[in-house]
Every structure is written in C-alpha cells, then in structure tokens.
C-alpha cells in the first residue's frame, strides 16, 4: 500500500531526502507522495523512511490505494530493472 500525506503537514521538507524513490515533492499547500513511485520502502528499507522522518505524524497509509506486499515488491523490481 502506498502512503499519503495529510493536511497536518507543516512543509518541513524532512521526508524528501530519506525517500529512496524520489516519490515526495512539495505540491502547494502541502507535500505529496506520488503513488506510482512509493513502494512503502519495500525492497529498500525495513520501515517507511518518510514516516520515521516526519515530526508531526502526517504520513499515513493510503487505504484507497491498497497494494499487497507482493505488488510492492514487483514495483520495487521494476524500479530497479530486475
């Protein structure tokens, strides 16, 4: 499942650099996660790095865009050309 950023976002930029897939960008008025790029960090790290970086807990699971672990692994492999 991809993650999404809620309106609690204070635009601090802390989540951008830790993201291994460049999925996060500033989209006035708050930051957004590009669904097609986010693997929930599957394949890269054990936990979502953006969630750990966010000081206000503004990053949550996007229940409307459910993806299984195997879907996320496929997305990771496509990104890495495997």
Q: Which residues bind ligand SF4 (CB under 6 A)?
A: 3, 5, 9-15, 18-21, 23-24, 31, 33, 38-41, 48-50, 53-54, 56, 58-59
Cα torsion 61, 63, 64, 67: sign: positive
Tokens for 25, please give them: 């960008």
CB of 11 to ligand SF4, least distance (A): 5
> Which residues neighbour 33 within 8 Å (Cβ) at sequence distance 6 or greater?
2, 3, 4, 5, 23, 24, 50, 59, 62
């Amino acid at each position: 499942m991809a993650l999404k950023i809620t309106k609690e976002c204070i635009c601090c930029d802390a989540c951008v650099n830790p993201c291994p897939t460049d999925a996060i960008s500033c989209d006035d008025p708050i930051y957004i996660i590009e669904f097609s790029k986010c693997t929930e960090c599957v394949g890269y790290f054990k936990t979502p790095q953006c969630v750990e970086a966010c000081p206000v807990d503004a990053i949550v699971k996007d229940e409307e865009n459910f993806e299984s672990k195997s879907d996320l692994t496929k997305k990771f492999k496509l990104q890495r050309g495997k």
